[in-house]
Chain A
C-alpha cells in the first residue's frame, strides 16, 4: 500500500518529501495550515515555518482565538477539570455544545458525587443556561435546573445576570426578573462555583460577559471558569506556538521574526485572496480537508481517505497520534499536556518525522531553528 503520492501517483516517501521541499523553497508566501497534530508535529511544523518564512494557522483557530482574544483583552479566571471535579459546589453550564466538545463531561463532572470532595459538606448544584437540547439527557441523568430555552437568549440572559449581581436594574429580558434574581442568589451562595462553556458555541462578547461575571463574583465568593477544549489538539498546538514564538497561531515568519495578526495570517484568507502561493495542510487526527476553494499548490499530511476539493501536489499519509505512534497532546480531563502511548503501533510515518524529512531536503540556510 502506498503512503506518498505526487499528483496522485504513488512514490517513495523520500521522493515526496523532496518534491515538497522543492515546492516550499520556490514559494514566496507559504502557509502551514490545519496543524491537527501532536506536540512533536506542531514543534516540527513551527520550526519548518520559521525556516521557510511561512505563516502558521490551526483549523480550529477561530474558536480558540475567541478564548485567547477575551483573555488578552480583559483577563480571565479559570480552573482545571480536576479542580472542578473535587471542589465545585455549583456548576454553571453555559450554552450549547458542551457535551459535544467533551463527551466525558457528564461522567467526569455531573453524574456521580466525587470521591474525596474537598468540602465534605458541599452539595453539587447544576445550573444550565440555554442548553440547546434535553438537559437531563445531556447531563447523563443528573439533576439539572435549566434557565432559558432558546440559545439566542443567552447573551442577554448573561448580561441580565451580571447586572443583577452588580445590583443594577433590568430592562426587558428573556426570563422573568424573579428567575434571574433567584439564579443570581444561587451564584452568590456558591462556595467554589465553576462556569463551563465551549467557545465553539459562544461569540467573543458573550465569553467576555461570562468571564467578567465570574471575576465579579470573586469580590465576595469563589468562582472560576472552565473553557472546554477545541478539537484536533488545538489547545496543545496553541501552547507550542506560545513558547516557540510568543504568540498564538496565525503568526507569520515572513519578515524574519514572528508577527501575529488574526486577520492577516488566517490561512483560509491567505489562500482565498491569492496571497499564499503554497500550502502545507496537516490533519493527522481525522480525515479533514481545508475549507478554502481557491487552487493552490498543496502538500497534504493527513490520514487516509481525505476527500480534497483539489488534488494535493504532494500527499503523505501520516499516522494518527496516540494510535499509530506515541504522542504528547492536550488532554481534556486534566487540561494539560499528557503523554499518550500508541494504542495500535504501526509503521505509519508521524507528522514530525515527515516534516523533519522535508526540512532536511530544503536548501540549507543560516536560520536555525525557531
Chain B
C-alpha cells in the first residue's frame, strides 16, 4: 500500500527542510518518492501545513495517582455535571479512551507519562494500553525508594547502582528515569516539612544533591538517551528560582532535564513577596547547554494537581478547591492529589501564567525548551491549542494580560517581550527536539525511514483553531483523524529502553525483596502477556 500526501507545506526542522513537498508512505514508514509515482491513495494537502506527529514529553495520563484523581473528583466528569463548558477536565472526559482520541485530534502521536513508581508500573502500562491511537512511554521514578537510598547509605559502587537503575528500567518497561523532589518524600515520612537540595534524608544520611548526581551519572553512563528527568525541590514556593538555579548548576556539564520549570520561576520581590524570576532562569538555561527544560504552563480554570512530590502536595493541601485531597505515602514517592482552580483574578495565578510564557519566550533555543502544561497540574492538555496561539501572537498575549491584575503583570517581564514563535519553532519544540531528547530516531521528522506519524493542519490564522483539530492525522501510516474527528481506532505501543545489566543484580534484587518484604522481586514485573494487546512494547536503542 502506497500513500501520498500531496502538495502540503511541509515543516521538518529535524531535516532542515521547509517547503511544498509530497510525503510518501509505505508499510507505516515514510519513504523517498518512488520512481513511478503512482499512489494507491492520495490525500490532497495543498495549502495545508504538514508536520511530523507531535510528541509530549511530560503529561500525567496514567497510573494509580491519575486514577485516584479521577475517583476523587466525580463532579468533574461529564456524567455528573451540567456545566460542562466551565469544567475543562470534564471536557477532557478523562478516561483512557478519550485521552487517546483527544491527543490524536490535535496531531499528537506519542505521549510520555512521566511519573510511574516501579511498584505501580504494571497498573500504569495497563492504563496506557487502554489509550488508543497514540504511542506512549513511561519514566520510572527513583530517588525516594528505600533500595536506592539504602545502597547509597551503604556506599554501593557506581556499577552496582547502574545495574539497579538498568534493572528498574527493564522491569518496569520505562523509557527513562525521573527523580521527584529527590529524598523529599522519604524525608517527609520522617516528619521533615521543608527539604532543599543540600538537605539530608533522615535515617539514610544522603543529601538530595547526592541522589540527583548519583542518578544523573547512572543514567548517563548507561547510555539511556533521555537524561535524568528532574523535578526539583521546593516546587511552587516563592524563591524557588534559587533551587532551580542551583539544580541547573549541579548539571556540571552532563545532560539533565528539568521538568515544569514554570513552577520554580518565582522570586520574593514585591509587596506580596511573590514575583517572576523567569528572566534569570531563562538566562541560566540559555547559558547551560547540557540542560533542557519543559515549561508546565498554567492556564486558568479548574484542574487537579497530581504529583509524586508528596511533601509539596501535603503542604499545598489547604489550598485544595474543592476542599478535599489525597496524600499517599507510597513505596518510594507515593503521591498527592490536590484539586485546584487557577483564577485569572488571582495575583499569584496570574504571575504563574506570565512566568510560563516568559520562559517559553526568553529561552532562545526552541530545541531546549519543551511544550508542556505538566497535564493536568498547570492545565489540562486540551488547552494546548490556546497556548500555541499565545506563543505565536503578541497581540493575543496583550489581550490576555489586559484581563489580569496589573500588579501581577508588573511583577513579570512578559509585557516587554515581542517575540512570536514561528511554525518552524513550534515544530522544533513539539516534534524534532522531543524525538531527539527521548532518543526516538525514527520519530519527530518527515525524512525517509521515519515512522509515518504525520499531522496535517489547515493554515488558519486562528492558530488555536488550527491546532485544536488537525485536518488529517496518520499514525503508522494509517489515517486516524479527519477534520479533528477520530475516524479509525487502533492500539499503540509503549516505548521502552533496556540498557542491560549484570545478571548479579537479579539475585541481589531477589534478596532485597525477600529480606525487606518477604516477596519475590518479579512481583513488580510487567510481562508483555499481561497487557492484553498484541506487541504492547517497542524497544528504543541505547547509546552503548
Considering the complex, which residues of chain B in the window 73-129 have a beta carbon less than 8 Å from any beta carbon of chain A?
A: 73-74, 77-80, 93-97, 119-120, 122-123, 126-127
Taking CB as reference atom, which chain B residue is nearest A73? B324
B330 shortest CB reach to chain A, Å? 6
A78 touches B (CB below 8 Å):
yes
Separation of A326 and B531 alpha carbons in the complex (Å): 11
CB-defined contacts of B527 to chain A, threshold 8 Å: 326, 339
Interface positions of A from 52 to 99, Cβ below 8 Å from B: 68, 71-80, 82-83, 85-87
**Which B501-534 residues sit within 8 Å CB-CB of chain A?**
515-519, 522-527, 529-530, 532
A339 to B120, CA, bound (A): 12
State whether B119 touches A334 (Cβ < 8 A): yes
Q: Is the CB of B126 within 8 A of A39?
A: yes
Binding site for B on A (CB under 8 A): 39-40, 43, 68, 71-80, 82-83, 85-87, 107-108, 114-116, 118-120, 191-192, 218, 221-222, 224, 238-240, 242-248, 251, 257-260, 326, 328, 331, 333-334, 336-339, 352, 368-370
Q: Which of B8-62 contact A (CB under 8 A)?
A: 62
What DSSP secondary structure best describes chain A's contact surface? mixed
Q: Which residues of A contact B188 (CB under 8 A)?
A: 222
Residue of B nearest to A241 (CB): B71
Instruction: State the 8 A-B residue pairs at the shortest beta-carbon distance, nearest first.
Output: A259-B79, A75-B324, A79-B329, A242-B67, A337-B123, A75-B325, A77-B327, A243-B127
B516 in contact with A115 (CB, 8 Å): yes
- Please name all residues of chain A whose beta carbon is closer than 8 Å to the beta carbon of B422 when the two chains form the complex: none
Q: Hey, which chain A residues are within 8 Å of B120, CB to CB?
A: 336
User: Which B residues, 281 to 340, have Cβ-Cβ distances below 8 Å to chain A?
Assistant: 314, 317, 320, 324-331, 334
The 8 Å CB contact of A75, one of B74, B94, B150, B320, is B320
| B74–A244 touching, CB < 8 Å | no
Other 12 A-B pairs with CB < 8 A, given A39-B126, A82-B516: A43-B130, A75-B324, A82-B331, A108-B518, A222-B329, A244-B97, A244-B130, A246-B79, A247-B71, A334-B331, A337-B122, A368-B489
In the bound assembly, the distance between CA atoms of A71 and B122 in angstroms comes to: 24
Query: B517 touching A333 by the CB < 8 A rule?
Result: yes
Q: A114-B516, A222-B191 are in contact. Are A257 and B327 (CB under 8 A)?
A: no
Cβ B71 vs Cβ A370 within 8 A: no
- Flag whether B146 is at the interface (Cβ < 8 A): yes
SS class, residues of chain B in contact with chain A: helix
Residues of B within 8 Å of A221, CB to CB, are 191
* Contact flag A339-B122 (CB < 8 Å), given A118-B146, A192-B190, A334-B523: yes
Residue of A nearest to B519 (CB): A333
The interface residues of chain A lying within 8 Å CB-to-CB of B532 are 39-40, 43, 352
Distance in Å from the Cβ of A292 to the closest Cβ of chain B? 25
The residue in chain A whose Cβ has the minimal distance to the Cβ of B516 is A116
Q: Please report the C-alpha to C-alpha distance between residue A127 and residue B368 in the assembled complex, in whole angstroms.
A: 54
Whether A239 pairs with B130 at a CB distance below 8 angstroms is no
- Within the assembled complex, what's the spacing in Å between the Cα atoms of A368 and B489? 8
Q: Which residue of B lies closest to A108 (CB)?
A: B518
**A257-B79, A369-B97 as given contacts; A83 in contact with B130, CB under 8 Å:** no
- Asked whether B96 lies within 8 Å of A243 as measured between CB atoms, the reply is yes
Chain B residues near A218: list those with CB within 8 A.
Answer: 314, 327
Residue among A43, A244, A246, A338 with most chain B CB within 10 A: A246
Query: Which of the residues A78, A108, A244, A251 comes within 8 Å of B329, measured between beta carbons?
Result: A78
Q: Are B329 and A258 in contact (CB under 8 A)?
A: no
Give the shortest distance, in Å, between B160 (CB) and chain A (any CB): 17
Given A118-B203, A337-B126, verify A243-B331 contact (CB < 8 Å).
no
Partner of A78, one of B74, B96, B190, B326: B326
Contact of A116 among B123, B150, B330, B523 (CB under 8 A): B150
Set of chain B residues within 8 Å of A339, measured between Cβ atoms: 122, 522-523, 525-527, 530
State the Cβ distance, B527 to closest chain A Cβ, in Å.
Answer: 5
Known: A78-B329, A243-B62, A326-B529. A68 touches B71 (CB 8 A): yes
Partner of A77 from the list B329, B517, B525 (CB cut-off 8 Å) is B329
The residue from B72, B80, B314, B524 contacting A260, defined by CB atoms under 8 A apart: B80
The reply on B189 being an interface residue by CB < 8 A is yes
Residues of A within 8 A of B77 (CB): 246-247, 258, 260
Is the pair A328, B518 in contact by a Cβ cutoff of 8 Å? no
